[in-house]
Amino acid sequence: MITKGQNTTEPSTRDEQKSEPSETIFNSGGFELILSKDKYKCWVKMSKTSEGVMPEKTELLKALEDKKIAKDFINVEEINRIFDEYVFERVVLIAEGKPKKDGANSKVKYFFKTDIYEHLKEDDTGRVDFKEINLIQQVKKGEVVAELVPPEKGTDGITVMGEIVKAKDGSPVNLPVGLNTEISENNSNQLTAAIDGSVTLKRNKVSVDPVVVIDGDIDYSTGNVNYKGTVFVKGDIKAGFTVKSEGDVTVNGVVEDAVIEAEGSVVLKSGFVGRGTGRITSGGDVILPFAENQHIYSGKNVIVSDALLHCTIEADGKVTVSGDKSVIGGSIFARESIEVQSAGSQTYTKTVLSVGVKREIREKMEQLKIDLKNNKTNIEKVDKAVHVLDKVKLLKRTLPPKQQEQYNNLLAAKKKLLEEKNALAETKEELYETFKHLENAVIRIDRQIYPGVSIEFGNVKKTVQEETAGVSFRIKDEAIIELKETK
């Protein structure tokens, strides 16, 4: 027996139970056995009794046996340490099973660049070097473009009581077969190019697009271009002309009030200018040095090395502008984030930076609020009219034919209004789903933001009143908060 007055030693970190979910399975005679919820671990906590003694080691081993803790998983050295070093009032791990390990799911290994940021290189000033951007990744027919990494088998676990816990095997996935790609005849886990062309990942499918090269400008000498593959224009795209592509579009020259529609990404190496009739619509990223008075719609990110002047931009991902002038005028929307060097101007140029929810969704939400209010008002009006006729019916026991017809029409109208109310409630729930990620959205200004710039998170708006350097905006509890940026 151990008596009062003897010292205890400080336990090592292995003594800590931490915050794992657990339950006590035995508590008597001066010690407590604690079992983790998943039954992979068992701890003991020794306490002095009122007489100031600890139980014998044999009593602890007997309790472990009674609770069916398997001998193979009991750490005898730890139990000896408890009694040799007189470890009181500490939770000590004395038995540990083997946790199960679910197998990793199958995944796809790509043999080409799939992220736009892999294509971007910075020059000595820290800006994107447009001379080095090349989205066209050429492959030859038969070349392997992707390969399946097979799923892993799971490893079963064993609890401290010797019970087997079955693990899940990893789930298989299919090869992302897209346009002009095929599964290899020699290896069913490999995807190969069916033609020579430019390989891309679009809508989670690997495609190989044929490439058309326009040696000069797109103008009256070429007419509009509508191509199923990737388009590479060495010259300019003149005002009024259109380029449509089911792949990527790269333009070495200037785009002047033209229209570009691409299922893939768009790279302009010399900018996008004009009087405001130009438009880029891209299913992928849009990368360019600058744009003025133009419209850009991107299914992913918009990356600008210099400035956006009086433009309308919408991106389902991020908008990044790294030039000194950055954003002056216009409206910039990004679903995830906006990161610019500066925003607005000293002349209070109207500039809108909006994140989180597209304007069309916000407009639908505003209209929905009006519709819900009108629906509620109409239901109240119908209820009042029905209530009046109910009183008449109570007094006369029956309603005259005209009033009975009116009564029936009111009941029918209320039924229709209630159906409308339910439909509006469902629409509201669907629309609010789009607002859930707002707290993760951010607008970051690295250098200067000027008065008059409008900051918008969904329907919550704030106008900047003072010139501020280095600031970010987020939304919390339906209010826009301002955080100073630290370098």
What pTM was computed for the model?
0.58
Backbone angles phi, psi at 372, to 5 degrees: -65, -40
DSSP sequence for 116-127: GGGS--B-TTSS
Angle between helices 57-66 and 76-84 (to 10 degrees): 150
Minimal CA–CA distance to 296: which of 277, 284, 312, 307? 312
Average confidence (pLDDT) over 149-170:
95
And the tokens for 283?
Answer: 């299913």
- Tell me how far CA of residue 154 lies from CA of 3, 158, 169, 171, 174, in angstroms: 49, 13, 4, 10, 20
Return the pLDDT at 14: 47
Average confidence (pLDDT) over 80-107:
91
What is the three-class DSSP state of 393?
A: helix
459 and 431 in contact (C-beta within 8 Å)?
Answer: no
Q: Which pLDDT tens digit goes with each residue over 298-321?
A: 999 999 999 999 999 999 899 999
Average confidence (pLDDT) over 174-190:
94
What is the three-class DSSP state of 246?
A: coil
State the pLDDT confidence band at 133, using cuts at 50, 70 and 90: low
Give buried/exposed letters for 354-392 (b at 16+ CB in 10 A, else e). Answer: bbbbeeeebebbeebeebbeebeebbeebeebbeebeee
Query: Given a cut of 60, is residue 16 above it in pLDDT?
Result: no
Backbone angles phi, psi at 359, to 5 degrees: -60, -40
Instruction: Fill in the DSSP letter of residue 332.
Output: E
Rounded Cα gap, residues 282 and 4, in angstroms = 78
Q: Which pLDDT tens digit goes with each residue over 369-418?
A: 899 999 999 999 999 998 888 888 887 778 888 888 888 999 999 999 99
Where do the structural domains in the chain lie, given as residue ranges?
13-96, 107-207, 360-434
What long-range pairs does 151-154 form, CB within 8 A, spacing at least 24? Answer: 151/103, 151/104, 151/105, 151/106, 152/103, 152/104, 153/103, 154/100, 154/101, 154/102, 154/103
